[in-house]
Amino acid sequence: MLNDNELLRYSRQLLLPRFDVEGQLALKKARVLVVGCGGLGCPVALYLGAAGVGGLVLADNDEVELANLQRQIAFDHNALGHSKAEALTDRVRAINPDISVTFREQRLEGEALAEAVSDVDLVLDCTDNFNTRFALNRACVSARIPLVSGAAIRGEGQVSVFDSRNEASPCYHCLYPEQGNEDLTCSEAGVIGPLVGMIGTTQAMEAIKVISGKGRPLVGRLLILDAWQMEWREMKLARDPDCQVCG
């Protein structure tokens, strides 16, 4: 149940007829893994923590650099040189001390990745490289854990939900084959700051929908944003029956 403090803290969400106490209790019981504590991970963790997700695990092996401060809104100048995962954990705890927030200061891969994924109810991909995205996808499909995927570079971004519990849902590999995709990072191509906030907050909203069972998540749909034109487009995604991961 929700205590008096929680009823007050989450009152604006509890007022929503389609969300109500049932949705809030689902958030409270949920355990979520956020992989990547940078431009996307910051708004994701801040909003999910503020919304009352009961258990957050934040994973990243990088430290805060000066060039990060243009868009990674959880960090200030005093965080330079500190672990991103730890600094973001401290920030979320400061917003909501009533939830459990832990961090893993490592690059999740192999057994560590499989263990981390199998221990949660939902994974959010806030990374910036294809190798990690493909590994996360394989782990989520194997463990039948839903994955909320986001990406942002230059002035373009995209969001989708891959839910292996749903037999009709494609996986990330259905959308992008592993061969022929080369990483292009923000340090090489650039990125406009507010874009990562727009994509990250959209990921957070999708996570709340998946956890609570409310609304219509982006399963089988890819949402694409051109921030310079402020145009959202939606693409339908079909599962690939010959997919090497989920087929």
pTM: 0.96
Read off the pLDDT of residues 196-218 as tens digits, 9 standing for 90 and up. Answer: 999 999 999 999 999 999 999 99
Give the whole-angstrom CA distance, residue 154 versus residue 57. 28
Q: Quickly name the fold that domain 14-236 has.
A: Rossmann fold (3.40.50)
Alpha carbons 137 and 181: distance in angstroms, whole number: 15
Given a contact cutoff of 8 angstroms between Cβ atoms, the answer to whether 64 and 224 are in contact is no
How far does the chain reach from its first CA to its final CA, in angstroms? 40
Parallel/antiparallel/unpaired status of strands 55-59 and 231-236: unpaired
Q: Which amino acid is present at 65?
A: E
Write the pLDDT tens digit of every residue in 20-42.
Answer: 999 999 999 999 999 999 999 99
